[in-house]
Amino acid sequence: MSVGAPKIPVVVAEVVEVNELIKRFRFVRRDGAAMPIFSGGSHVVVEMDDHGTRRMNPYSLMSHPADTMGYEISVRRDEVGRGGSLYMHNHVKPGMEMVLSQPVNLFPLDARAKKHLMIAGGIGITPFVAQMAQVETMGGRFELHYSVRSPALGAYVDRLQQHYGPRVHVYFDELRQQIDLKTLLKSQPLGTHIYVCGPKGMIGWVHATAKAMGWPDRAVHSEEFLAPPVGLAFDVQLAASGKSFTVQPNQSLLEAIEAAGVEAPYLCRGGACGQCETEVLRCDGHIEHNDHWLTDDQKAANTKIMPCVSRFRGAALILDR
Amino acid sequence: MSLDFNDETFRGDYTFKNSAKAIKRFPFPFPEDSYMYSVNMEPHVPGPVGSIFEHMFDVDEHYVAEMRDRAQVLADDPLRCQSLPHMELAGWDLLELIMESKARDYPHWFELHKDGNNWHWINKPLQIEQRFTFMDASTLPYGPLEYITRQTQGDFTLQDQRDDDLWIEAGMVTTQADWSLDFDIGMSFKQWHAPVPLAGQMGIFDRALKFLLKLQHGAPVRRFNWTMTVDPLLDTSPENYPKWGPSKTTMTPETIGHRQHLRVELQTLHRLPRSNAIVFPIRCYLIRFEELVTVPKWARRLHRVVRDIPDELATYKGFLRNKPLMLDYLAQFDDGQPTSLGFAPD
């Protein structure tokens, strides 16, 4: 069974410096055809050829879901990461040819919600930009609470406030402004769903606060893509394909499997979706489980690994792939 | 009615029949001489010219008569089409998918002209011409799901995806193998599959759900299901069981070849773009035993499948009672010769 949808060959139409940390990229199809319509909250995986290293990073789509002329993403520069965002910032120019995956939505709006309450931190704003556009088209009710470091780093603040008016609330850390979450959650109408996208701390804070106030778990939604962490190099053996290789410090296990010419399933490449789940046949050592997918029990058992974000330290790791 | 479409009935005098061409393209569902459950899904990609897989939505000689039958079922029981309020967007997604597919695949029968959200739809076989505003249900005579599925063969269910599960929350169901949308609406994936024997213990539903939650837009999949039906009745619903159930008790060796039908469902699954819902079209194909045995390989194989099927499955599929009659009839076409692998006639 394969879930592979055809990839989308694109050309970079526009690169815009939004502020000193964030650039926006617009992609159009090379053949001039229409892009698929998508649902707000979807991401695409952008394939990069970083001077011989193949990188595939997921980014939320932030263009209007009904805009079939092109897709837009925003990328925050990460100086200490593995280099995907630096590649996007330093090397991707208008006219370049790239490849995108089909959109996949792991952060959908709940269509039953009477109101959508969106809470964003920093670059976590991007899925909400598309979701607000979609909800507005449908005549739905929403409110955005958007926390950023400073006016200079507040991507899209002006544009969103201008367009959506009092439905957009902005908080600047530098001015010591904070979302008054308890008051906010206390004053919501029945049938409200909460969505949060931002730093790990913010996501945990919103979940914990809502839970303590008696919100049902299923009314609180979050999305956190993990960048594959860097780490020490380690060796791995693939039993089914009979290959052995070393995973480099700035390479993910999934990328190393692909570089070895072995097909492996994936969707989010950020530890969230479960698609790349792989059986561990032998583990002499310690798996660094960095994903949100496996349960704590599964992680402790060391019989499964999510190669998109997880790593290994020890003598031998053999996978059923 | 034009030459392309049969003038036939699926009730009353049951004049339904398959032409030689329709028999040749019938989706015989058994690739080998035995049957057991499996998820058996494959990409729903275009198949050979003339086959039922040639196009995304197959339109065949039964189209006009099937739509006439659906209209009658709905007139008798409007609850066969339902859509919970949050599923309207998925209905528009489906309307777009079907209109675009049919206009592309059958341009001599269907046309779709778009000027922004002002759409103009022409369905020549059903003599329908409609101008409407896309995403504005007040411009159509029915909601988007009902509008387009009154013009499309097969049943349709729409599944919302949330909380790592699929929820059946809209549908058009008039050609079903004994299940009820009115009963199932609002259920989760495992709830609506609960009546299926054996498969749950086999882990089939765990695997299928996991797979479907990751189904991607632009990559539809398909599988077959099958059962047995007495007389070419499309509407074998629980609601109408008193009307059709007893027909199973009236079979004789003389009538079985003519009245017993193999009922095959081509089930496809598509991710919808705006709503992130999944549409599940269930397209029913009927073939009477007399028609089926004109293909020697299919006659041999069907005999072996029916002979060896576990009783739980024959009970669930509703033909345990008539299994001996079926076997007596089919045995005369099974000379014990080996059959080749795959669905196709030799």
Whether residue A82 is found in the same domain as residue A123: no
Spatial contact of B260 and A92, defined as CB atoms under 8 Å apart: no
The yes-or-no answer on residue B223 being catalytic is yes
Q: Looking at CA atoms only, how far is residue A189 from chain B in angstroms?
A: 18
Is A315 exposed, middle or buried, given 0-12, 13-18 or 19+ CB atoms closer than 10 A? Answer: exposed
Residues in chain B closer than 8 A to A38 (CB atoms): 217, 273-274
Report in angstroms the alpha-carbon separations of A213 from A113, A143, A182, B43. 19, 20, 8, 46
- Please report whether residue A311 resides in a domain: yes
Q: Which is catalytic among the residues B11, B68, B223, B307?
A: B223
The DSSP secondary-structure symbol of A58 reads E
Residues in chain B closer than 8 A to A105 (CB atoms): 276
**Residue B132: predicted pLDDT:** 98
pLDDT band at A3 (very low <50, low <70, confident <90, very high): very low
Q: Measured between CB atoms, does A106 come within 8 Å of chain B?
A: no
Residue of B214, B223, B269 to mutate when probing chain A, most A C-beta within 10 A = B214
In chain B, residues 192-231 whose CB comes closer than 8 Å to chain A: 210-211, 214-219, 221
pLDDT band at A55 (very low <50, low <70, confident <90, very high): confident
Whether residue A127 is found in the same domain as residue A184: yes
Least confident of A71-80, A219-228, A285-294, A312-321: A219-228
Q: Measured between CB atoms, does A105 come within 8 Å of chain B?
A: yes
> In what helix (H) or strand (E) does residue A27 lie, and over which residues does it extend?
strand A22-29
**Residue B346: predicted pLDDT:** 79
Q: Which range of residues forms the domain containing residue A249? A: 234-319
Whether residue A122 is found in the same domain as residue A143: yes
pLDDT band at B2 (very low <50, low <70, confident <90, very high): low
**Residue B99: predicted pLDDT:** 98
- Tell me how far apart the alpha carbons of residues A249 and A99 are, in angstroms, rounded to a whole number: 25
pLDDT band at B206 (very low <50, low <70, confident <90, very high): confident
- Please report whether residue A110 resides in a domain: no
CA-nearest of A142, A137, A105 to A120 is A142
Q: Express as a percent the part of chain B with pLDDT over 90.
A: 84
Q: Looking at CA atoms only, how far is residue A37 from chain B in angstroms?
A: 6
What pLDDT digit, counting tens, does each position of A57-90 carry?
999 999 999 899 999 999 999 887 778 899 999 9
Whole-angstrom distance between the N-terminal and C-terminal Cα of chain A?
Answer: 15
Spatial contact of A308 and A228, defined as CB atoms under 8 Å apart: yes
In chain A, residues 237-296 whose CB comes closer than 8 Å to chain B: 267, 273-275
The CATH number of the domain holding residue A175 is: 3.40.50.80
Q: Domain ends where: A104, A126, A142?
A: A104
What pLDDT digit, counting tens, does each position of B10-67 carry?
999 999 999 999 999 999 999 888 887 666 778 899 999 999 999 999 999 999 999 9
CA-nearest of A273, A108, A133 to A193 is A108
Contact B211 A102 (CB under 8 A): no
Of all residues in chain A, the one with the smallest CA distance to B218 is A5
- Please report whether residue A1 resides in a domain: no
- Please report whether residue A248 resides in a domain: yes
**Where does B77-150 have alpha helices with state H?**
88-105, 144-149
Residue B101: count other Cβ atoms within 10 Å of its Cβ: 17
Q: Express as a percent the part of chain B with pLDDT over 70.
A: 98
- Please report whether residue A228 resides in a domain: no
What pLDDT digit, counting tens, does each position of B243-266 carry?
999 999 999 999 999 999 999 999
Q: Looking at CA atoms only, how far is residue B275 from chain A in angstroms?
A: 6
pLDDT band at A2 (very low <50, low <70, confident <90, very high): very low
Q: Domain ends where: A169, A201, A223?
A: A223
- Please report whether residue A2 resides in a domain: no
Q: Residues B5-11: what's their mean pLDDT?
A: 97
The CATH number of the domain holding residue A59 is: 2.40.30.10
Whether residue A202 is found in the same domain as residue A257: no
- Tell me how far apart the alpha carbons of residues B91 and B111 are, in angstroms, rounded to a whole number: 20
- Please report whether residue A65 resides in a domain: yes
Q: pTM, whole model, 2 decimals? A: 0.90
Residues in chain B closer than 8 A to A6 (CB atoms): 218-219
**Residue B38: predicted pLDDT:** 67
- Please report whether residue A238 resides in a domain: yes
Q: Are strands A168-172 and A42-50 parallel, antiparallel or unpaired?
A: unpaired
Whether residue A121 is found in the same domain as residue A69: no
Q: Residues B281-305: what's their mean pLDDT?
A: 97
Domain count of chain A?
3
Whether residue A87 is found in the same domain as residue A166: no
Helix axes A157-164, A126-138, angle to 10 degrees: 10
Does the pLDDT of residue A307 top 60, yes or no? Answer: yes
- Tell me how far apart the alpha carbons of residues A59 and A126 are, in angstroms, rounded to a whole number: 9
**Residue A4: predicted pLDDT:** 60
Whether residue A13 is found in the same domain as residue A97: yes
- φ/ψ (deg, to 5) at B170: -165, 155
pLDDT band at A45 (very low <50, low <70, confident <90, very high): very high
pLDDT band at A223 (very low <50, low <70, confident <90, very high): confident
Contact A3 B214 (CB under 8 A): yes
Residues in chain A closer than 8 A to B161 (CB atoms): 108
**Residue A1: predicted pLDDT:** 31
The CATH number of the domain holding residue A284 is: 3.10.20.30
**Residue A42: predicted pLDDT:** 96
Tokens of A211: 């839970």
Of all residues in chain B, the one with the smallest CA distance to A222 is B163
ipTM of the complex: 0.86
Does the pLDDT of residue B179 top 50, yes or no? Answer: yes
- Tell me how far apart the alpha carbons of residues B99 and A181 are, in angstroms, rounded to a whole number: 46
Does the pLDDT of residue B1 top 70, yes or no? Answer: no
Q: Domain ends where: A177, A201, A223?
A: A223
Q: Measured between CB atoms, does A300 come within 8 Å of chain B?
A: no
Cα B154 to the center of its chain, rounded Å: 5
Of all residues in chain B, the one with the smallest CA distance to A277 is B210
Tokens of A181: 């979450």
Residues in chain A closer than 8 A to B89 (CB atoms): 111, 138
Whether residue A144 is found in the same domain as residue A214: yes
Contact A39 B215 (CB under 8 A): no
E strand map for chain B: 42-43, 81-83, 110-115, 118-123, 128-133, 155-162, 165-172, 221-230, 260-271, 278-288
